[in-house]
Chains A and B, each alone.
Chain A
Amino acid sequence: GAVVSQHPSRVICKSGTSVKIECRSLDFQATTMFWYRQFPKQSLMLMATSNEGSKATYEQGVEKDKFLINHASLTLSTLTVTSAHPEDSSFYICSARDMGVENIQYFGAGTRLSVL
């Protein structure tokens, strides 16, 4: 099956710093990738849709200036959490859709962000 790689798997940072998370589709091209956020023992919430070569589409309530998304190539999308604060601590997961398959999404392993 399709493989999505997400890096880093874990990051601990100080409040006020920015953190970049990478999401790569390894064996297929993904014009669209998705970023989700998951709090402990809760479900995934869609944050934004990342579109290659154009601006990301953010879900209601998600600050686009806080969570910067760049999708510069067909295999890479990045999420940058800017000026991170403790409330940004969460599990961030990306996914990519293989265009040949009916909206089945392939997920990265996730990034656990802890902001001190």
Chain B
Amino acid sequence: SQQGEEDPQALSIQEGENATMNCSYKTSINNLQWYRQNSGRGLVHLILIRSNEREKHSGRLRVTLDTSKKSSSLLITASRAADTASYFCASTRGSGGGADGLTFGKGTHLIIQP
């Protein structure tokens, strides 16, 4: 079942601007991940944030996690045309010790206008 809700569902910005996407989830998590999917392709892992972390950076990506609000945000700074894709948050169910399938949010379709 889908437990993540992303907003906005679609976002169009100019190249060079920052893009912020939000994700909410319903159950407790061990970690939260963000993935990117280019049209009609598989997913690429971007960043993982553990439940005991509040913020994490990786290159132009910044992710935050608020477990009290069960929400996360992904910020892409200085956007490029190549960032055009769909972005999904995903969480791991269960105790996290085993190999659990991911539960994905509905995704944000990001379009970067050149």
Contacts and interface: CB of A to CB of B under 8 A. Distances in A.
Contacts of A107: 35, 42-44
Contact of A109 (B41, B88, B102): B41
Contacts of A6: 42
A72 to B, nearest CB: 18
What bracket does the count of chain B residues touching chain A fall in?
Answer: 20 to 34
Contacts of A43: 2, 4, 88, 104-107
Binding site of A, secondary structure by majority: helix, strand, loop or mixed? strand
B31 interface: yes
A74 to B, nearest CB: 13
B88 A91 contact: no
**Centre residue among B2, B4, B43 by max chain A CB count within 10 A:** B43
Given A44-B104, A103-B92, A104-B33, A49 B99 contact: yes
B45 to A, nearest CB: 5
Nearest to B10: A41
Contacts of B100: 49, 103
Interface of A: 4, 6, 31-32, 34, 36, 41-46, 49, 59, 91, 93, 95, 97, 99, 102-110, 112
Among all A-B residue pairs, the 9 with the closest Cβ atoms = A107-B42, A32-B99, A46-B101, A107-B43, A109-B42, A43-B104, A44-B104, A34-B101, A43-B106
Given A43-B88, A44-B102, 17 more contacts: A34-B101, A41-B109, A46-B102, A46-B103, A59-B101, A93-B43, A95-B43, A97-B99, A99-B99, A102-B31, A103-B30, A103-B33, A103-B92, A103-B99, A103-B102, A105-B43, A107-B42
21 contacts: A31-B99, A32-B99, A34-B101, A36-B101, A42-B106, A43-B4, A43-B106, A44-B43, A44-B104, A45-B104, A46-B103, A59-B101, A91-B40, A93-B43, A95-B43, A103-B92, A103-B99, A106-B45, A107-B42, A107-B44, A112-B40
